[in-house]
Structure 1
């Protein structure tokens, strides 16, 4: 059974029982991504590490380690 078929079945059952309709598949994906990002930032703060700029700083270190070609 596909996700779409399962959602249609859930909607049908909810209407029969007079319950609120379930959200469409994928409706809350961005909210979940935001919550995961915020949770990761929260854990970083609890570990007493800088919460911002970690990726940029790491990429900057990697770029400075590479030998520069003169051209």
Structure 2
């Protein structure tokens, strides 16, 4: 069974049961690629292999902000 046939079957079943439709195949591919790239860059920054920039720098800043102790 191809991915398109499986998707059609899933849509049919969801409609019969009144459930929300599943996402179409490939609907979130670019988001997944972006998240994998960001994760790899973030790990490189933590390991000291690369300087933080862009989205990795923002994520690192958020992480460090959460870890910063509160001054009395």
Instruction: Give the TM-score, by structure 2 length.
Output: 0.67
Runs of 4+ off more than 6 Å: none
Separation of aligned partners in 2, 1:18 and 1:43: 42
Which residue number corresponds to residue 17 of structure 2? 17
Matched pairs, number: 52
Q: Unmatched 5+ residue regions in structure 2?
A: 53-72
Q: How does 1:21-60 map to 2 (within 5 A)?
A: 21-51=21-51
Separation of aligned partners in 2, 1:7 and 1:50: 41
- Cα RMSD (Å): 1.2
Q: Unmatched 5+ residue regions in structure 1?
A: 53-71
Deviation of the 1:48 alpha carbon: 1.4
| Secondary structure at the counterpart of residue 27 of structure 2 | coil
- Which structure: larger Rg? 1
